[in-house]
């Protein structure tokens, strides 16, 4: 009698954030996470406290452009607790990008809180590429608001949307 091999269980990682807007730094982390996950779900937080510049639908559409034809990555919006989404998806990992030491305190607290809420869930911190590590959504918004060139920092679709949003001056 031969042993039946255990069924293949894809490793699912969730890469959640506000992504307002999605930058080349986010895209770098998203793609790097395929090194240890079979499926990556980019999760756009809908109910963030901050008032976003772009709606969740717009942010999802920008990320979909960035994903292109990569079938191992998908994007969706979510409401409520991230751990509940992770449970729903059968995810075992949360991916977060760490750019600088200043990110660490909040990230550490969030990782511990999420593990408290869902003990089977591990947070994996990833370091972005050298050329994207300085990019943040808030700085991209700020530069675009005052007409600066953000062409090298975000996908062309995002750059166009930012230009349109601020076409009549800073809002
Ligand atoms: O890009 P951000 O704003 O740093 O992402 C933060 C985010 C969206 C991942 C975090 O606020 C979140 O998970 N929100 C969903 C609500 C939740 O689960 N809160 C508990 C963990 S802080």
C-alpha–C-alpha distance, residues 67 and 24, integer Å: 12
Residue 47 pLDDT:
75
Task: Select which of 18, 33, 66, 137 is catalytic.
Answer: 137
Residue closest by Cα to atom 20 of ligand 1: 81
Query: Taking the chain (171 residues) in consecutive chunks of 10 residues, what is each chunk's mean pLDDT?
Result: 82 97 98 97 88 96 97 98 98 95 92 97 96 95 96 97 88 71
- Residue among 82, 64, 53, 55 nearest 27 (CA): 64
11 is catalytic: no
For residue 1, the CA-to-ligand 1 centroid distance in Å is: 49
């Amino acid at each position: 009698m031969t042993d039946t091999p255990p069924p293949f269980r894809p490793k699912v990682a969730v890469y959640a954030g506000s992504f307002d807007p999605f930058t080349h730094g986010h895209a770098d982390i998203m793609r790097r996470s395929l090194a240890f996950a079979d499926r990556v779900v980019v999760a756009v937080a809908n109910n963030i406290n901050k008032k976003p510049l772009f709606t969740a639908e717009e942010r999802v559409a920008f990320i979909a452009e960035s994903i292109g034809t990569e079938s191992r990555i998908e994007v969706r919006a979510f409401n409520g607790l991230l751990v509940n989404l992770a449970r729903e998806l059968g995810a075992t990992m949360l991916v977060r990008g760490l750019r600088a030491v200043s990110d660490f305190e909040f990230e550490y607290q969030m990782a511990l809180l999420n593990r408290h809420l869902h003990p089977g869930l591990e947070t994996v911190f990833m370091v972005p590429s050298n050329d994207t590590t300085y990019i943040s959504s808030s700085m991209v918004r700020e530069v675009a608001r005052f007409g600066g060139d953000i062409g090298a920092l975000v996908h062309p679709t995002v750059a166009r949307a930012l230009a349109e949003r601020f076409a009549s001056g800073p809002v």
